[in-house]
A and B are shown apart, each in its own frame.
Chain A
Amino acid sequence: MADVRVGSGAAGPPALLTATAVTRRYGSLTAVDAVDLRVVEGERHALIGPNGAGKTTLLDLVGGATRVDDGRIDFAGRDVTRLGPARRARLGIGRIHQRPAVWSSLTVRENVEVAAWRRVGGLRRVATPGRFRRRLREPALALLDRVGLADLATSTAAHLSHGQRRLLEIAMALANQPRLLLLDEPAAGLSGVEVQRLAALLAGLPREVSVLLVEHRLDLVYALADTVTVLYDGRRVASGGPAEIRDSPEVRRAYAEAVR
C-alpha cells in the first residue's frame, strides 16, 4: 500500500502511530479492510462513519485488544503489531471503552490509583508499598478534580452514574500518562452538561497527548479534531481537515446511504 514509514514524511511532525493496511475479519465479514492511518504527535484525529463502519474495531486493533489479521502497526517508532494490550498500554497507548469500564468494587480514588499503578515505581511498588500508595494518591485526587469527581473519591465506583463512569474512565486513562489516547464514543449516553464538561476536558488536554477519537456527535468532532478520517464498510473513504470533510460530496453520500 502507501509508502508510510515510521517517522518518515517529507513535511510535518513525526508520526506517533502508523497503521499500515490493517485488516480484521470476523468470518466472512471484513470489519476493517486494509486501512491506513497515521496520527502525528499532538494531533487530534477523529474517526467517523456510520454504524458498522469498523471504527471501534480499528481502535481495538490499535489498542491491542484485538489482533490484526493483516497489516502492521507502529507506535512511537516500534512495531507493536504482535504486542498485547497491557504491553501497549505500558508503551503509552491509553484508552476508554464504548461502555465505560471501571472496577466497580473499588472506590473512585482506588480506580485511578490502580490505573496509574504501572507508571510509578518498578521495585518501589514491592519494597515500600506504603510510600508507593501515597505517591499515587495526590495525582489521583488531582485528576479526579480535573474530571469533576473529587467529591466522590471515596464512594464505590458501582454507585456512579453512566456519565460519571465515563469521566472516571477518562481519568483512569489519563492516570497512565498516555502519549496516545483512544476514545471510543466518549459523548455517548451523556447528558448535555456532561457533554460540555467532556468537551472542555478534551480541549484542555496538553498537546503531549495525541488523541484518536471515535464519535458520532459531529459538532464535537469538528470542534476538536485537526484531522478527520471517514470509514465506510471497513474502508477508509476520505481523510482531511474538518472543513474539507464536511464539504466532501463523497462523505455525504456515504452517510446518506447509511441513513437510508
Chain B
Amino acid sequence: MTPTLGRRLGQAGTVGALAVAVAAPWLTDPYTTSLLARTLVLGLVGVSVALLTGIAGLPTLGQTGPYAAGAYAGAVVGLHVSPVGVVQVLVGAAAGALFGALTVPLVVYARGVVVLMITLAIGELTVTAASRWRSVTGGTDGLAGMPAVQPVWGMGVLDSDRARYLYILIVVAVVVAVVLTVLRTPAGLLLRASRDDEARMRASGHRVTGYFAVAFVAAGALAGIAGSLLVTAQQYVSPADFGFEVSALLLLGVVIGGATSVGGAIAGTALVLAVRDWFAGLLPGQAPLLLGGLFVVTAYLFPRGVAGFSAGVATLLRTRTRRGTARPDPGGPGEGPVPALAAPVRGGRAHRGPGAGT
C-alpha cells in the first residue's frame, strides 16, 4: 500500500534532515548558527501548537503564553539559582505546564474559532504582564547577563554559538522523540478520536474534556521547555520575543507544515522563519508579501501541508472520490489544512440547537 512508501520517504527525509541539522554549525557562520538555534526553539513551540491545533483540534494563538512563562522561569533560574541546563529545562517545563494548568479552564470548554480568540487574548495578556512586571521580568528592557549554561553537572559551559546550537538540537530531538512516542501510545489514539468526533467519544463514555485538559497542560510544558531553550540560545529575553507576530508565524508555520504532523510542524516553522529572515534579504522590506505568497502556494499545492506531501497524493485522491459519493463530512480528517479550523462548530451539535431530525 502507498502509506508504507510514504512512510519510507518520510523516514528518509527525517534522517537526512537530522544529518544536515547536526552538520549545520560546521557548514555555516556563527551568526547563521545562532539563527538556526532560534529556529529549533520556535520549531519546538510549533510542535506544541501542532499538538493542540492539528492533533487535539484546538487551534491556538496562545502558546506564546507558556513559552514566555518557561523563558522567564529559565532566565530567573539561570540568573539566581543554577547555570545547569537540565535544571533550567525542567523548571521551564514546569512553568509552562503550570501556565497551561492555570489557563486550561478558559480554553477547554470552547471549540474552533472561539479557542483561537481566547488563546490570542491569553497570549497578549502574557506579553503585557511580562512588560509590566519589572521586578521579575525586567519589563521591556528584558533580562540579560545570565551566566553561560552548563548542560549537566560537571560539564563545561556552552561558550560558542556552535555549542549552544548542538545542546539545543539534542534537547529538542529528545523532547520531540518523547512526543512522538507518546502519540504512538493509546494517548495519541484518544486525542485523534476526540478531534474526529467528540460527541461519539462521549457516547462511548470517554471524558473528552479531561483529555483536552491533559493535552493542553502537556503542550504548555513543551512550550515552556522551548522558552528555557530560547534563553540559552540568545542569552537574553524580552516581551518582544512573545508578541502577536510570533503567535501568528507559529500558526502559519504549523498550518504550512501540515498541522497534524510533529515533523511537519518543525519543517513548517523553519520554512516560515527562513522565508522571513533569509529570502526576505533578496527583496528587502517585502517579508510579509513573501510569507503571504508562501502560504497561498502551500495551500494550493499541498493541502495537507509539507508533511502530507510524502504521505501520498494517493490518499488525497481516494479522499476526493469518497467525498463524491458520501454525504458532506462535517468532521473529516485532515481534508483542509487545519481540521479544527475547517469545522469550527464541531462537537457543538450534540449540545446546542435542535438536531437535524427531531
Contacts and interface: CB of A to CB of B under 8 A. Distances in A.
A104 B350 contact: no
Interface stretch (B33-41, B105-113, B241-249, B321-329): B321-329
Contacts of A173: 203-204
Given A86-B203, A158-B322, 16 more contacts: A29-B354, A52-B357, A53-B358, A66-B355, A85-B203, A97-B203, A102-B200, A103-B193, A104-B331, A106-B193, A115-B204, A117-B190, A117-B204, A118-B204, A158-B329, A158-B332
Contacts of A105: 192, 195-196, 333-334
Top 10 nearest A-B pairs by Cβ distance? Answer: A105-B333, A89-B205, A118-B205, A101-B200, A103-B196, A65-B350, A103-B193, A90-B205, A85-B202, A86-B202
Interface residues of A, number: 54
B6 to A, nearest CB: 13
Interface in A109-144: 110-111, 113-118, 125, 129, 132-133
B356 to A, nearest CB: 6
A159 B323 CA distance: 9
Interface string A71-104: 0000000000000111101100011011101111
Interface string B199-225: 111111111100000000000000000
Contact of B322 (A103, A159, A175, A185): A159
Interface string B66-80: 000000000000000
B192 A60 contact: no
B262 to A, nearest CB: 15
Interface in A137-193: 158-159, 161-162, 169, 172-173, 175-176, 185
Nearest to B330: A99
Interface residues of B, number: 38
A20 B131 CA distance: 58
Interface in A189-215: none
Contacts of A42: none
A107 to B, nearest CB: 10
Interface of B: 185-186, 189-190, 192-193, 195-197, 199-208, 318-319, 322, 325-327, 329, 331-334, 350-351, 353-358
Given A63-B203, A118-B205, A162-B326, A104 B354 contact: no
B325 A98 contact: no
A162 B355 CA distance: 19
Given A159-B322, A161-B326, A114 B193 contact: yes
Contacts of A102: 196-197, 200
Contacts of A242: none
A101 B199 contact: yes
Q: Which residue among B205, B322, B325, B329 has the maximum number of chain A CB atoms within 10 Å of its CB? A: B205
Interface of A: 26, 29, 31, 51-57, 60, 63-66, 84-87, 89-90, 94-95, 97-99, 101-106, 110-111, 113-118, 125, 129, 132-133, 158-159, 161-162, 169, 172-173, 175-176, 185
Contact of B204 (A60, A104, A114): A114
A64 B207 CA distance: 14
19 contacts: A31-B358, A52-B357, A55-B357, A56-B356, A63-B203, A66-B355, A87-B205, A97-B200, A103-B200, A104-B196, A104-B329, A106-B193, A116-B204, A118-B206, A133-B186, A158-B322, A159-B318, A162-B326, A176-B204
Contacts of A53: 358
Contacts of A94: 203
A178 to B, nearest CB: 10
Contacts of A98: 355-357
A51 B358 CA distance: 7
A120 to B, nearest CB: 11
Given A101-B203, A106-B196, A176-B204, A158 B358 contact: no
A258 B251 CA distance: 51
B325 A161 contact: yes
A99 B197 contact: no
Nearest to B333: A105
A95 B356 contact: no
> For A31, A104, A162, which residue has the most chain B Cβ atoms within 10 angstroms?
A104
Contacts of B325: 161
B165 to A, nearest CB: 36
Contacts of A95: 203
A115 to B, nearest CB: 4
Contacts of B205: 86-87, 89-90, 117-118, 176
Contacts of A133: 186
Contacts of A65: 199, 202-203, 350-351
A65 B205 CA distance: 12
Contacts of A172: 200, 204
A26 B354 contact: yes
A89 B333 contact: no
